[in-house]
Every structure is written in C-alpha cells, then in structure tokens.
Amino acid sequence: MSEYHNPVLLHDSVGGLAIQPSGVYVDCTFGGGGHSRHILGLLGPEGKLVVFDKDEDAKKNAPEDPRLHFVASDFRFIRNYLKFLKIPEVNGILADLGVSSHQFDTPERGFSIRFDSELDMRMDQNAKLTAADILNNYEAEELARVLYEYGELTNSRKVAAAIIAARPVMNTVRLKEVLAPFYRKQDEHKFLARVFQALRIEVNDEMGGLKDLLMASEDILAPGGRLSVISYHSLEDRLVKNFIRAGNFAGEVEKDFFGNPLVKMKAINRQVIIPTDEEIKMNNRARSAKLRVAEKI
C-alpha cells in the first residue's frame, strides 16, 4: 500500500535482520506494512511476525496471515506484550521511527506545515496530550525546553515567549503567523520543521519510547538476534548509536575489573547506512533516514 507509506531503506533494514525462515520477528512500526510484508515474504510457515502500531489507522493495512499478530499499542510496551503472547525471545526487531507518509498527508492529524489544521500531532489518537495543549498550557521554561531539546532552536526562550504572548494558538496558520518574525523567507521550511518536530516529539514522548525499546531489546533478542533501526533526526540517531556502542545513552562504555567492555550488542554496519540518491529521488522523505544494525552478543 504505497499510498500509505513508501518503506524507507526496505532491503537494507530487512536484510540487516538476517531473516531465518522459522524465526520470530517484531516490526515495531507497522504503518503501511511495507517492511512487514517483506519480512513475511522471507518467513516460512513456521515463522512468526509480531507488529506494533499505536495509530488505529494502521491496522487497516494488516494482511490476513496466520503468521502475523497485530498489537494496537506503543512499541515501548514490547516486553509486556511478548510476555503476554508467551514469546520469550525473538530473532530480530525492526523499527522505522518517525511519522508515516499517511500521517503527514492527512491534514486533520496536524503533523504537516502544509495544511491549515488544528495542532494535534498525536500518533495514538486516544492519547490526551496534543500540540495545542503544549502551546497553550506549558509554562515558558517548559515550552522553551521542548523547543531547545527537540527542535534544537538556539532562540527557544524568545520563541516560547512569543507563543505565550499570542495565546491561544490553536492551528497551524496561527502558529506560523506567530513564528514568522523568527526566520528569513529562505529558511522558513527548515525553521518550521524544527518547531513541528519538537512539538511532535513531546506529544508522543518519542525519545522516552525509543529508550524503552532499546533497553528492552537487550533482553528480548536471542543471542545472535538483530536490531535494525531507521531514524530521521540526530536526536534519535545519537541514542541508537550510543546504545549499540555502549549499552547506555551517554555512549560511555563501562568495563569490568579486567578491562573487558560490558556490552551486549555489536554493530553490524560500522558506518551508518543512508538511502541512495535513486531512493531519495523516488521518495523524498527518505532523505534524512539513517539505518543502524546491531547483533546481540
């Protein structure tokens, strides 16, 4: 279902899992099902695929396949759900982070700067917190923190003050009006994209969810199992890189008494994998994608 989401780095990310036909795999971000369908094509009749997606729209894309089990929940709860399904360990975990094309292209979801829409940005439409809630209810210090940490805005305090002075800010058009004094015309898309990214990450607690998934992967993966993660901005990629390298998010490797590194993962690709020019030409949203693959030692 390419209209929903054109899977990014499809062959590299699934290939990195080194699929065993009878293995058990998890696709943490089902979306349009592109990666999952490719995995199913490599699995034999004894193989299993558990897929997660907290966006209720995604379930409509799930194929009828006895090997597939759809979990309508956040992947941060992967440990609990696999335990419930009586799956003690898996052979591979794939996560294509970020927002699907469907979410970006559905105006009422509020993910895109292209549309006049309410500021929603919830991936889980049953969640309570929206982008409008953040813009209109956060204190200045907290709003500035979100814009600085997740949007990497160096002038986050001034931007936060302008938003607070302009309240209520309920839709994309109003937000863009408030932000207009902070960028030159040629920098408009880049600046607005950073603000929208910051709000989306906060609404969906994306950093917290990614940390929970990475920590759980150490226990869930069988020895030799693979972790394949596609990220779309430096904040995500840094977490994944540090975790694979050191088993923590600071990236500092701890050692035992004898000086041996205390790590459970090893990187499969020494250099980050990025899309080819051809893939970017076919799918512009792949342009910022970075893939890292690791194996449990």
pTM over 0.85: yes
93 and 115 assigned to the same domain: no
248 and 191 assigned to the same domain: no
62 and 148 assigned to the same domain: no
227 and 81 assigned to the same domain: yes
**Domain that includes residue 188, residue range:** 109-204
Q: How far is Cα 232 from Cα 79, in angstroms, rounded to an integer?
A: 24
- Ramachandran angles phi, psi of 281, nearest 5°: -65, -40
Q: How far is Cα 126 from Cα 129, in angstroms, rounded to an integer?
A: 9
Does any domain span residue 147? Answer: yes
Q: How far is Cα 175 from Cα 220, in angstroms, rounded to an integer?
A: 42
Final residue in a domain of this structure, among 184, 204, 224: 204
Contact 119, 109 (CB under 8 A): no
Print pLDDT tens along the chain (297 aa). Answer: 334 557 999 999 999 999 999 999 999 999 999 999 999 999 999 999 999 999 888 888 899 999 999 999 999 999 999 999 999 999 999 999 977 666 666 666 767 777 788 999 999 989 999 999 999 999 999 999 999 999 999 999 999 999 999 999 999 999 999 999 999 999 999 999 999 999 999 999 999 999 999 999 999 999 999 999 999 999 999 999 999 999 999 999 999 999 999 999 999 998 999 999 999 999 888 999 999 999 999
95 and 237 assigned to the same domain: yes
pLDDT number for residue 176 = 95
Q: At what angle do helices 188-204 and 140-151 cross, to 10 degrees?
A: 110
85 and 44 assigned to the same domain: yes
Q: Based on the structure, what is the number of domains in the chain?
A: 2
CATH number of the domain at 197, please.
Answer: 1.10.150.170
> What is the layout of strands, in order, in the sheet containing 48-52?
68-71, 48-52, 24-27, 90-96, 221-231, 290-296, 265-267
